[in-house]
C-alpha cells in the first residue's frame, strides 16, 4: 500500500491453504488490498510452487514465480495428518475472516475443513474453493492444471492459422483468471457479511474461467449452431473477425492492426486494390488476399515509419513488442508496474498489483515468506487453546 494509507481490507485475516498459482494469487490479491494472509504449508516441503520454477529461475531458495505470487504473506507449517497440528489450524480457522483452498474435490472433507464443517465453528467465515473442473461431472477428479484446462475448454483452437495445430496461450491464463474470480467472489461475500453478518462459500474452477473467457463465442454458438471455428491465414489474429485484424511483418519487426475500414487503409498505404474494396463484405470474403497485400506493403518499411502514418490518421494499430522492447519502453516505465521486495537482505523485483486505490498504485516491500517463517510469532499471537480435532480423517 502507499505509505501512510490503510488498505481497504485492512484488519481481515485470510488463511491460504492453496498451492501452485490460482489460489495463492487470489490470496495475494487480497493481501495487496491490505488483508493479513497466513499461508498454511506442509512442513519440510511447503507449497509445491516453491520448487516448480518458471523458466527454471530460483532466488534465495524459492522459485521466482513463488516470490511473484506470495508477496505480502506470512507462513506457518502444519501437518494436517497430525492431530495437534490439525487442532491448532482449526483454532485459527475459528478466528479467520476468509479461507482459500484449491485441493481436489473431497480432500478438505476428509480433513474435516470443508465449508460445512468450518461454518459450524465459524458461521461468518467467507470460504473460497478453487478447483480444476468443479465438484460434479466426469472431469471433477482430473488434474487441475492450466494447459489441461485450456485444452478441455477448446481454447487452443482459437489461435494460430488454419495451417496450425492447437495453439495454447503461452501463459497460465486459466489460473490467473480463476484467481481474479475467486478474489472477486470473496470480496463480494465480505461486503454482504458487513451488511448482514452472514458468511458464505464462493466456488469457481479453471474450466469455468476458460468458458467465461469465451463468452462471446459460446453465446453466439448457443444461438446459432452453424457457427464453426475456422481460423484464417498466417496474419489473422482472430477466427471471428474480418481483415485487417491481425499482425504483419515490417522490415524490422511487426505491426498489429485492429478493426479498420479497408478503403481507408488502402488510401493511407497507397494500395489501390484495397482502396477499391468499398463493400464491407469483402473484408470477410477476400480476407487472406487483403492480409497478403498488407503484409507485402508493410514489409517495405520499418514499424515506426508505418506507425507515424497510421497514428496520424487515427488508425487502430500498435507495435508488436518483444519482451526486451517492452521492458525498455517509456510506456512500461510510465505505468510503474514493478516494485522491489526485501527478503533476508536481498532485493527481489516483482510486478505490483494492477489496481490503483484513490489514485495511488498498490505497492509493498514485503516479500514472499520463507517456509514456516512465522511459526513462532503466530503461535505466540494465537496460542493453542485445546480445541478438539474435527471428527473426520486428518489426511491431505
User: DSSP per residue over 70-106, as a string?
Assistant: STTEEEEE--TTSHHHHHHHHHHHHH-SEEEE-PPTT
Residue in 16, 175, 224, 314 annotated catalytic: 175
> Measured between alpha carbons, how far is 227 from 224 in angstroms, rounded to an integer?
6
8 A C-beta contact, residue 243 and residue 283: yes
> Nearest 5°: phi and psi at 239?
-70, -15
Q: What does the pLDDT profile of the chain (396 residues) look like in tens digits?
A: 544 568 999 999 999 999 999 999 999 999 999 999 999 999 999 999 999 989 999 999 999 999 999 999 999 999 999 999 999 999 999 999 999 999 999 999 999 999 999 999 999 999 999 999 999 999 999 999 999 999 999 999 999 999 999 999 999 999 999 999 999 999 999 999 999 999 999 999 999 999 999 999 999 999 999 999 999 999 999 999 999 999 999 999 999 999 999 999 999 999 999 999 999 999 999 999 999 999 999 999 999 999 999 999 999 999 999 999 999 999 999 999 999 999 999 999 999 999 999 999 999 889 999 999 999 999 999 998 754 444 444 443
**Grid cell for residue 168:** 495454447
> Measured between alpha carbons, how far is 103 from 85 in angstroms, rounded to an integer?
18
DSSP 5: P
> Measured between alpha carbons, how far is 41 from 301 in angstroms, rounded to an integer?
55
146 is catalytic: no
Give which of 38, 109, 6 is closest to 368, Cα–Cα.
38
Helix residue ranges, H only, 197-302? 206-213, 215-223, 262-268, 272-275, 282-285, 287-298
Q: List 184's β-bridge partners, or say none.
A: none
pTM of the model: 0.93
Task: Give me the domains of the chain, ranges plus CATH numbers.
Answer: 13-213+335-381 (3.40.50.10540), 254-319 (no CATH)
Q: List 146's β-bridge partners, or say none.
A: none
Amino acid at each position: 500500500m502507499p505509505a501512510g494509507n490503510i488498505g481497504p481490507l485492512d484488519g481481515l485475516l485470510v488463511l491460504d491453504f492453496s498451492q501452485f498459482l490460482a489460489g495463492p494469487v487470489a490470496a495475494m490479491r487480497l493481501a495487496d488490498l491490505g488483508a493479513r494472509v497466513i499461508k498454511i504449508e506442509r512442513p519440510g516441503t511447503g507449497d509445491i510452487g516453491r520448487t516448480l520454477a518458471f523458466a527454471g529461475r530460483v532466488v534465495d531458495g524459492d522459485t521466482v514465480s513463488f516470490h511473484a505470487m506470495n508477496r505480502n504473506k506470512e507462513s506457518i507449517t502444519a501437518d494436517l495428518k497430525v492431530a495437534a497440528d490439525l487442532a491448532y489450524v482449526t483454532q485459527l480457522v475459528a478466528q479467520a475472516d476468509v479461507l482459500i483452498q484449491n485441493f481436489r474435490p473431497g480432500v478438505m472433507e476428509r480433513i474435516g475443513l470443508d465449508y460445512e464443517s468450518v461454518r459450524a465453528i465459524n458461521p461468518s467465515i467467507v470460504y473460497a474453493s478453487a478447483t480444476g473442473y468443479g465438484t460434479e461431472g466426469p472431469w471433477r477428479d482430473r488434474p487441475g492444471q492450466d494447459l489441461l484446462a485450456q485444452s478441455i475448454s477448446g481454447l487452443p483452437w482459437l489461435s494460430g492459422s488454419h495451417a496450425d495445430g492447437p495453439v495454447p496461450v503461452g501463459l497460465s491464463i486459466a489460473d490467473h483468471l480463476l484467481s481474479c474470480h475467486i478474489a472477486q467472489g470473496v470480496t463480494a461475500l465480505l461486503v454482504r457479511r458487513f451488511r448482514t453478518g452472514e458468511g458464505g462459500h464462493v466456488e469457481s474452477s479453471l474450466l469455468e474461467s476458460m468458458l467465461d473467457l469465451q463468452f462471446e463465442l459460446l453465446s453466439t454458438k448457443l444461438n446459432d449452431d452453424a457457427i464453426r471455428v475456422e481460423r484464417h491465414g498466417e496474419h489473422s489474429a482472430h477466427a471471428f473477425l474480418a481483415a485487417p485484424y491481425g499482425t504483419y511483418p515490417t522490415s524490422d519487426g511487426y505491426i498489429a492492426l485492429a478493426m479498420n475500414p479497408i478503403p481507408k487503409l488502402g488510401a493511407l498505404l497507397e494500395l489501390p486494390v484495397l482502396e477499391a474494396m468499398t463493400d464491407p463484405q469483402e473484408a470477410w470474403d477476400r480476407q487472406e488476399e487483403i492480409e497478403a497485400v498488407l503484409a507485402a506493403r508493410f514489409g517495405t518499411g520499418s514499424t515506426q515509419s508505418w506507425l507515424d502514418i497510421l497514428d496520424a490518421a487515427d488508425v487502430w494499430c500498435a507495435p508488436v513488442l518483444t519482451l526486451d522492447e517492452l521492458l525498455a519502453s517509456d510506456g512500461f516505465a510510465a505505468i510503474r508496474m514493478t516494485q522491489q521486495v526485501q527478503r533476508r537482505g536481498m532485493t527481489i523485483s516483482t510486478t505490483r498489483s494492477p489496481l490503483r486505490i484513490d489514485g495511488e498504485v498498490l505497492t509493498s516491500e514485503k516479500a514472499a515468506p520463507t517456509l514456516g517463517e512465522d511459526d513462532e510469532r503466530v503461535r505466540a499471537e494465537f496460542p493453542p487453546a485445546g480445541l478438539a480435532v474435527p471428527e473426520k480423517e486428518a489426511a491431505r
